[in-house]
Amino acid sequence: MSKAENQPLFLGIDGGGSKCRSIVVNQRNEILGTGVSGPANPMNSFETTIHSIVESAELALLDAGMEKSSISQLNAGAGLAGVNFKEGYDKIMAWDNPFAKFCLTTDLHTACIGAHDGQDGAVMIVGTGSIGIDVRGDDHFILGGHGFLQGDMGSGAWFGLQAVRRALTSADLLSEPTIMLDLLLKHFDSATHLDIMEAMANKPAKNFAQLARIVFEAEKLGDAVAREVIEQGADYLSRLALRLFERNPRRFSMVGGLSPIVLPFMAKEVRERVEPTLQEPEMGAVYYARTVFELS
Amino acid sequence: MSKAENQPLFLGIDGGGSKCRSIVVNQRNEILGTGVSGPANPMNSFETTIHSIVESAELALLDAGMEKSSISQLNAGAGLAGVNFKEGYDKIMAWDNPFAKFCLTTDLHTACIGAHDGQDGAVMIVGTGSIGIDVRGDDHFILGGHGFLQGDMGSGAWFGLQAVRRALTSADLLSEPTIMLDLLLKHFDSATHLDIMEAMANKPAKNFAQLARIVFEAEKLGDAVAREVIEQGADYLSRLALRLFERNPRRFSMVGGLSPIVLPFMAKEVRERVEPTLQEPEMGAVYYARTVFELS
């Protein structure tokens, strides 16, 4: 296909707490190139976010065999973490971006659009954080997503934090023994629990999310504390999904790295209703841009 | 008393996450002057910490009717938050300080020495954080104090965080209703729970500690969720105290602003064993300096 036939070019961006993924697509939604870079949550760092967006876009252009300078021809749609906060949204919208056009929504919204191939439906994201949404046209019904510190139960960061908390109190003999302590000592190559405490002090959500696997490993080894933590997290996620079902969404999908791991522990009604995601969030961002720019 | 009779002069420093208090005392432990300045936790900021220490020392000297330049005659002992972390300790010990002599330990240690008037004993601090210690000579047995994120159950920051977490999930109808939601909406003059979420996003422990009173207010109004949170926090603190009692400490005291508020909810064995603090932590720091410098 000639360059002219590719026009207009779209860029779909999916940015979260750890990674930013971009795709360049042509007018027929064919993916010409993809790029992956670092974190893109403006509530954590605005500078890092815009750097990650531009880097992933340039990588996608190079992957498509195009020049970096073609960035100025792209009609960009971005779904980012942290822009559910007004402060995060305003920072990105005030950015003097390099694109032909640029529109912004939450990563939750673009994940939902992608999962249902542009149609209405509900999704739950269980990755570093946890959140649910049911989209019906302009009506966005959102549950959870209160953030690492204040909520996001059942998320990767929450599971990692529980592992650390339970391990530290068990080391002090203030709670039941758990092999999560042994697994964490091994993970950090630590002599005592104080090394774990020091290693994780003031660390962001993504570092805790990397420890989520410890809980599920411990559960497989028969650890009762790990089992209790998993049941607590899965129960919260089930309640969240059931609240979404009350609105009778057209379709329901689960997104995010922890979804397949936590799903087996969730309520039967939820497990039976989950349908596969049809497209990636980046493509959801393209669909979003098409709607906003009326270029569909 | 003449200047010569006051010699040697000691400075006792108690530094925490919000304030730094200093006292200048003479050889007979008579307090000649006191000074209060800002935060002194080197894990938060080294520059602020040394500024606060020097400022509170100078204020104490002025209060004693002495010159600022007398700082070079002071035998200083400091108990600081954050120096339980090697990084925090090393930063302060590498400081080219203005004192004649300088020694450093944790705020926990000096609070304990102060509470028992220089003798051995155990204390539990329940303020912004929560931690326990039993001191027997050089044997320091420490429990808890794992930090806002990773532990410190039953502390002010923990109670404030629970208030916010429970309020946010109840607003989403994902947990039992609680009047803590109403109290927080009123506190922040907010229209919806999302304003609370945004107001507290990425806030440090001391901001959450300011919300601890919400839990105790709600409990007084008969709120079952608040009662459950208080019982959970108080139960942890009771277990911590009982673990300290296993070592049969000579004396036991509770320190920190939340202690008198949470104590009525704690186990009977703990309530019956609490004894008053005999001296402030700043005096504990003086006792510590006397021991280290062998000037007692």
Query: Within a 10 A sphere around the Cβ of A65, how many other Cβ atoms?
Result: 8
Contact flag A149-B168 (C-beta cutoff 8 Å) = no
Same domain, A47 and A166: no
Is residue B131 domain-resident?
no
Query: What integer pLDDT is reported at residue A87 of this predicted model?
Result: 87
Find chain A residues with C-beta within 8 A of B173's C-beta: 243
How confident is the model at residue B81, as a pLDDT?
A: 87
Q: What is the pLDDT of residue B36?
A: 97
Q: What is the pLDDT confidence band of residue B295, given thresholds at 50, 70 and 90?
A: low
How would DSSP label each residue in chain A?
A: --HHHHPSPEEEEEE-SS-EEEEEE-TT--EEEEEEES---TTT-HHHHHHHHHHHHHHHHHHTT--GGGGGG-EEEEEETTTTSHHHHHHHHTS--SSSEEEEEEHHHHHHHHHTTTS-EEEEEESSSEEEEEEETTEEEEEE---TTT--TTSHHHHHHHHHHHHHHHHTTSS---HHHHHHHHHTT-SSHHHHHHHHTT--HHHHHTTHHHHHHHHHTT-HHHHHHHHHHHHHHHHHHHHHHTT--S-EEEESTTHHHHGGGS-HHHHHH-----S-HHHHHHHHHHHHTT--
Residue B294 predicted with pLDDT over 90: no
What confidence tens digit (pLDDT) does each residue in A35-92 have? 999 989 998 889 999 999 999 999 999 999 999 999 999 999 999 988 988 889 999 9
Weakest-pLDDT range from A214-223, B35-44, B209-218, B266-275: B35-44
The interface predicted TM-score of the complex, written ipTM, equals 0.81
Task: Give the total number of structural domains in chain A.
Answer: 2
- What's the Cα-to-Cα distance from B124 to each of A274, B132, B147, rounded to whole Å? 49, 4, 15
B149 touches chain A (CB under 8 A): yes
Domain membership flag for residue B135: no
CATH of the domain at A176: 3.30.420.40
pTM of the model: 0.85
Residue B51 lies in a domain: yes
> Taking 80 as the threshold, does the pLDDT of residue B4 lie above it?
no
Please indicate, yes or no, whether residues A95 and A154 belong to a single structural domain of this protein: no
pLDDT tens digits along B137-150: 888 899 998 888 89
Q: Which domain holds residue B217?
A: 156-273
Residues from chain B contacting residue A174 (CB–CB below 8 Å): 143-144, 236, 239-240, 243
Mean pLDDT of the region B167-186: 95
Q: Do A52 and A97 lie in a common domain?
A: yes
Q: Is the pLDDT of residue B170 over 80?
A: yes
What distance in Å separates residue B84's CA from the closest CA in chain A?
A: 10
- Looking at the fold, whether B285 and B249 belong to one and the same domain comes out as no
Same domain, A137 and A252: yes
Which chain B residues touch A203 with a CB distance below 8 Å? 149
What's the gap in Å between the CA of B163 and the closest CA on chain A? 9
Share above pLDDT 70 across residues of chain B, in percent, rounded to a whole number: 98
- The pLDDT assigned to B296 comes to 57
Query: B99 and B53 share a domain?
Result: yes
Q: Is the pLDDT of residue A296 over 70?
A: no
| B252 interfaces chain A, CB cutoff of 8 Å | no
Same domain? For B101 and B182 the reply is: no
**Spatial distance between the Cα atoms of B27 and B8, rounded to a whole number of angstroms:** 6
Same domain, A172 and A250: yes
Of the candidates A146, A161, A243, the beta carbon closest to that of B197 is on A146
| Residue B151 located in a structural domain | no
Q: Give the residue-averaged pLDDT of B106-123.
A: 94
Could you tell me if A288 and A174 lie in one domain?
no
Which residue of A172, A201, A239 is in closest CB contact with B147?
A: A201
**Pairing relationship of beta strands B10-15 and B75-80 according to DSSP bridges:** parallel
Reported as a single tens digit per residue, the pLDDT across A102-160 is: 999 999 999 999 999 999 999 999 988 899 999 998 889 999 988 888 999 999 999 99
The reply to whether A150 touches chain B by the CB within 8 Å rule is yes
Give the model's confidence band at B3: pLDDT under 50 very low, under 70 low, under 90 confident, else very high.
Answer: low
Asked if residue B138 is part of any domain, the answer here is no
